[in-house]
Amino acid sequence: MKDAFTGSSDHALLEECERGEDAALARYRKALKQQLPIDVQQTLGRQLLGVQSNHDQIKALRDSVTS
């Protein structure tokens, strides 16, 4: 993926990754507002937690590197 951002700093690359995770979080939250079968809601809820964890890890990495 880094090749797609040739010339970008690690900080900028991680910002782009975080934006992607933000978009995924928004979609999961929107989906969970829909009336869905309970098993689908539970699956989406578990997946949302995973996406949130990934987002938080990427943000921590981004904050740990200099721009």
Which tens digit of pLDDT belongs to each residue from 21-66? Answer: 999 999 999 999 999 999 999 999 999 999 999 999 999 999 998 7
pTM for the model stands at 0.80
Phi, psi of 56 (to 5 degrees): -65, -40
pLDDT at 2: 52
| Residue 29 maps to a domain | yes
Residue 7: is its pLDDT beyond 60? no
pLDDT at 15: 94
> Which residue do the tokens 């090749």 mark?
3
Tokens of 55: 């987002």
Who has greater pLDDT, 6 or 53?
A: 53
| Residue 20 maps to a domain | yes
pLDDT at 54: 97
| Residue 55 maps to a domain | no
| Residue 22 maps to a domain | yes
Domain count within the chain: 1
| Residue 59 maps to a domain | no
